[in-house]
Structure 1
Amino acid sequence: MDMTFQEGLALVAIGGVAGFINVLSAGGSMLTLPLLMFLGLPPQVANGTNRVSIVLQSVAAVGSFRREGASHVGLSLRLSVPAVAGSVFGAWLAMQVSDTLFEAILISAMAVASVAMLLPQPRVDTRPLSSQDLSPALYLAMFGIGVYGGFLQVGVGILFMAVLYRMLRIDLAQVNVFKVFIILVYMLPALGLFVYHGHVRWGYGLLLAVGSMAGAWLAVKVNMGPRGAAWIKWLTVAVIVTIILRLLLG
């Protein structure tokens, strides 16, 4: 499939916006996955191709967080184990459904995630974490998030926010550090499964990744306050509404 210059530019630009949003908030895949479908990729191929950008975006974010002195490698690895198991199952499941069902699930997931992004977050306390804080219920939640992320990925950051905010009651800065690391670890086997089944278009994925890595790097550098987070969420929801209408109207 040939790609025009304008389409390549759109992939880089939207990738940059998505990478920035993904690191500071959530919902970047709500922009990139429909974009890949609009450019002519079948839903399952778009789903696999989008993973290339997510992996490289996460590499950039994890590296930048470590250079900034923010890292929870040990605890993140513990939480990644059930997420990896879930993601492999979710990726396998995604390749079993029809394109029509996948599109219906995508629209539903975007609608639910849009509402979830607007819900108020609980009051949190900044405190050091240890392995004793990781309960069996949290590990089970990580498995569930892994299944969803392996299947679709759209809005998975919102699930991380809900789980880590509400179960660990840690602040947004800590949530983002955990989030990008766990996504990187569980996304690798999921991407491998899509590659094995021929559901990745590398040209599209790598162009998307160029933008998303730049956006992720910039997001780590930005000291995002509550007002900033709010406008990103509202901007994302506005774009999502447009995408849902576009999908519904064909």
Structure 2
Amino acid sequence: MAMEWYYYFALVGVGLVAGIINAMAAGGSMLSLPFLIFFGLPANIANATNRVAILLQNIVGVNSFRQEKVFNIKTDYKLAFPAAIGAMIGALIAVEIDPELFEKIIGVVMFIMLLLIVFNPDAWVKKQVGVVNSKPSLIQYIVFFFIGMYGGFIQLGVGVFLLGGLVLGCGYDLVKANAIKLFIVLVYTIFAIVIFIFYDQIDWLSGFILACGNMLGVWLGVKFTMKGGAKLVRYVLIAVLALTTVKLLIGL
């Protein structure tokens, strides 16, 4: 769909910030997805279009973490498989659901994420250290299957669940968890995006322009050593989430 020229410049900026957030913690889609919807893309098209940026962003992010010797595909790949299977199921649900109902679902999810950011802003970037189990348990496979299913349905907020599963459930520290999180999302997005392509739900121009910002942002985010950068965008997220939640749930 045709947009004003400034929309595409803003899209690069949003992608830049979203990429930084995704590399440092989680929640970049809480900025990019509402932006796409707020500027006129239907919720189902915005949800699919956002995956183009996520895919390309995570290729850059995973490679950057690998160069920093934080990510090792030989040992860190296991939980991506159940997430990929779940994501395909979630994506199929997303393309079949009524667009108006989907908008309401996204609005509710955004409202929940808004409450999490407002009332517990540090929980999703707090560093914790546990004992890492190199062989995931059946319970962990099941948990990541359902996280992947949610991620295939809607990317919004899935990084929060992945970090929770990797840090609290598997015992990784936050830096390692972020690297594995990007890889899991990369793998399941490949499968999910095939489904969105088949159902012709991607605005490719918006997706690639958003991806330009995302790729630069995730590269910068990996380089940052202070997690305070993620907190700086908290107020932006609150504002965008609040506006879009009102737009989707109330229709203003």
TM-score normalised by the chain length of structure 1: 0.91
Give distance in 1, aligned partners of 2:224 and 2:121. Answer: 23
User: One-letter code of the match for 2:79?
Assistant: L
Relative to structure 1, the CA distance from residue 34 to residue 53 in structure 2 (aligned partners, 3 Å threshold; closer, same or farther) is same
C-alpha contact (below 8 Å) 1:47/1:152 kept by paired residues: yes
Relative to structure 1, the CA distance from residue 33 to residue 136 in structure 2 (aligned partners, 3 Å threshold; closer, same or farther) is same
Unaligned runs of 5+ residues in structure 1 are none
Give distance in 2, aligned partners of 1:221 and 1:65. Answer: 9
Give distance in 1, aligned partners of 2:238 and 2:52. Answer: 24
C-alpha contact (below 8 Å) 2:90/2:149 kept by paired residues: yes
Unaligned runs of 5+ residues in structure 2 are none
Give distance in 2, aligned partners of 1:123 and 1:65. Answer: 17
Relative to structure 1, the CA distance from residue 82 to residue 62 in structure 2 (aligned partners, 3 Å threshold; closer, same or farther) is same
**Which residue is equivalent to 2:171?**
169
CA RMSD, Structure 1 to Structure 2 (Å):
2.0
Relative to structure 1, the CA distance from residue 72 to residue 236 in structure 2 (aligned partners, 3 Å threshold; closer, same or farther) is farther
Superposition map of 1:5-154 within 5 A = 5-117=5-117, 118=120, 121=123, 124-125=128-129, 129-132=132-135, 134-154=136-156
* Cα distance per residue 1:97-155 (max 9 Å; x no partner): 1111111110111122233342664772266x4523x1111111110111000001101
* Cα distance per residue 1:141-199 (max 9 Å; x no partner): 11011100000110101101221221123221011011001000000010011011111
Relative to structure 1, the CA distance from residue 211 to residue 228 in structure 2 (aligned partners, 3 Å threshold; closer, same or farther) is closer
Give distance in 2, aligned partners of 1:189 and 1:65. Answer: 22
User: One-letter code of the match for 2:246?
Assistant: L
Give distance in 2, aligned partners of 1:34 and 1:95. Answer: 18
**Which residue is equivalent to 2:181?**
179
C-alpha contact (below 8 Å) 1:116/1:158 kept by paired residues: no
User: One-letter code of the match for 2:15?
Assistant: G
TM-score normalised by the chain length of structure 2: 0.90
Give distance in 2, aligned partners of 1:27 and 1:20. Answer: 10
**Which residue is equivalent to 2:193?**
191
Query: Which shows bigger deviation, 185-194 or 117-126?
Result: 117-126
